[in-house]
């Protein structure tokens, strides 16, 4: 909780995102929630971060200057599911030229490409889930216009290093924020599906401290700072880093298994939660401009009142900007 700024504050949303290797934003309001919970100001937040696809194929809000490093980890990933390699490059080049000429509308691009492809292929290329823009985003050529927009802009953030070159730095930064963590946790977070743990095992792990618990090795960086106590009550955003950034086995330390299906839906959506003494104990949300808090089991009145007050505070700070 200390590393993830849940038991201390971070005033700046860019610094927070940089240290946490991005803020999950499949739903953009979770970036605002996550930042507020951790003490950051939302002034200018829509353009303070760049929204794009990163590890595990998920959208994150990141510091623009970090993009070449972050994108470098999967710079050689293919998008064969979209089109053949040569055809994919040709379409990508044409999309970039169209954007350079001021064409940003997906609908207009669908019309332009309609003469070249059948409807099914057009639907795949310009899918609302990203399509060709995922391919271009992974290469640092496009990103969402801002944190709340569905439109794209051209950018220049192409990776300059290979995946093997950026992995040591990204692993070090992961351990700094998310440690103690296992190699399996790091492989999950960074989206290293094939031989991921083997690649991490080959790194210089001697620079990290380690502890063994239940037969698993956890890596961390020594920090003599007083980490304080676990807060009695903590709000967690939807897709909060402390829940979605570890393997299922490690996640159970924060999210009790009996509540998992209530928090992580079959669709993959991870709802905002309330943690009592560091463990998820209920859900919260803002619905129809009202604060909603629901605990899974009976809680003392002071806990319920305090949680409602915290959610109301989030509501007040986000009113009119989400």
* Per-residue pLDDT at 65 exceeds 90: yes
**Rg of the Cα atoms in the chain:** 21
Contact 197, 214 (CB under 8 A): no
pLDDT confidence of residue 229: 87
Give the separation between CA 67 and CA 22, rounded to whole angstroms.
Answer: 10
Mean pLDDT, rounded, of the chain: 93
* Per-residue pLDDT at 81 exceeds 80: no
pLDDT confidence of residue 258: 96
Q: With bands split at pLDDT 50, 70 and 90, how would you rate the model's confidence at 104?
A: confident
Rounded (10°) CA dihedral 118, 105, 51, 34: -100
pLDDT in tens, 192-231: 987 778 899 999 999 999 999 999 999 999 987 788 889 9
* Per-residue pLDDT at 145 exceeds 80: yes
Q: With bands split at pLDDT 50, 70 and 90, how would you rate the model's confidence at 251?
A: confident
Q: With bands split at pLDDT 50, 70 and 90, how would you rate the model's confidence at 173?
A: very high
Give the separation between CA 235 and CA 238, rounded to whole angstroms.
Answer: 10
Nearest Cα residue to 42 out of 238, 321, 312: 321
**Strands lying side by side in the sheet with 50-53:** 23-24, 59-62, 50-53
Residue reference for tokens 């492989």: 187
pLDDT confidence of residue 32: 96
pLDDT confidence of residue 72: 94
Give the separation between CA 185 and CA 191, rounded to whole angstroms.
Answer: 10
pLDDT in tens, 38-48: 999 999 999 99
Rounded (10°) CA dihedral 45, 51, 54, 57: 120
Own/partner contacts of 226-230, CB < 8 Å, gap of 24 or more, are: 227/2, 227/7, 228/2, 228/7, 228/8, 229/7, 230/1, 230/7, 230/277, 230/278
Cβ-Cβ contacts under 8 Å for 37 (sequence gap 6 or more): 6, 234, 235, 236, 237, 314
Give the separation between CA 188 and CA 77, rounded to whole angstroms.
Answer: 16
pLDDT confidence of residue 188: 94
First to last CA, the chain: 26
Average pLDDT over residues 257-283: 96
Average pLDDT over residues 167-175: 97
pLDDT in tens, 1-13: 999 999 999 999 9
Cβ-Cβ contacts under 8 Å for 164 (sequence gap 6 or more): 199
Q: With bands split at pLDDT 50, 70 and 90, how would you rate the model's confidence at 318?
A: very high
* Per-residue pLDDT at 80 exceeds 80: no
Structure tokens at 145: 């216009």
pLDDT, greater one: 322 or 74: 74
């Amino acid at each position: 909780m200390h590393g993830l700024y849940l038991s201390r504050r971070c005033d700046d949303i860019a610094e927070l995102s940089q240290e946490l290797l991005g803020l999950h934003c499949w739903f953009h309001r979770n970036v605002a929630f996550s930042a507020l919970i951790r003490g950051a100001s939302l002034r200018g937040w829509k353009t303070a971060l760049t929204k794009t696809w990163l590890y595990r194929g998920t959208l994150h809000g990141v510091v623009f200057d970090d993009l070449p490093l972050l994108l470098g980890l999967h710079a050689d990933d293919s998008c064969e599911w979209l089109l053949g390699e040569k055809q994919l490059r040709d379409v990508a080049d044409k999309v970039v030229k169209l954007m350079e000429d001021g064409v940003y509308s997906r609908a207009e691009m669908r019309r332009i490409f309609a003469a070249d492809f059948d409807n099914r292929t057009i639907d795949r290329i310009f899918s609302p889930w990203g399509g060709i823009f995922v391919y271009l985003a992974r290469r640092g050529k496009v990103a969402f216009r801002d944190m709340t927009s569905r439109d794209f802009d051209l950018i220049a953030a192409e990776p300059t290093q290979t995946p093997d070159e950026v992995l040591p730095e990204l692993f070090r930064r992961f351990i700094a924020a998310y440690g103690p963590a296992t190699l399996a946790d790091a492989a999950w977070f960074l989206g290293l599906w094939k031989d991921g743990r083997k690649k991490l095992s080959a790194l210089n792990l001697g620079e990290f401290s380690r502890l063994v618990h239940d037969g698993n090795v956890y890596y961390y960086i020594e920090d003599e700072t007083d980490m304080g106590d676990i807060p009695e009550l903590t709000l967690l955003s939807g897709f909060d880093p402390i829940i979605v950034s570890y393997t299922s086995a490690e996640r159970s330390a924060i999210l009790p298994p009996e509540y998992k299906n209530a928090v992580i839906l079959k669709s993959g959506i991870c709802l905002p939660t309330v943690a009592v003494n560091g463990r998820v104990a209920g859900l919260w949300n803002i619905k129809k401009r009202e604060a909603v808090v629901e605990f899974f089991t009976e809680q003392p009145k002071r806990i319920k009142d305090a949680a409602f007050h915290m959610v109301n505070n989030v509501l007040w700070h986000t009113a009119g900007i989400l």
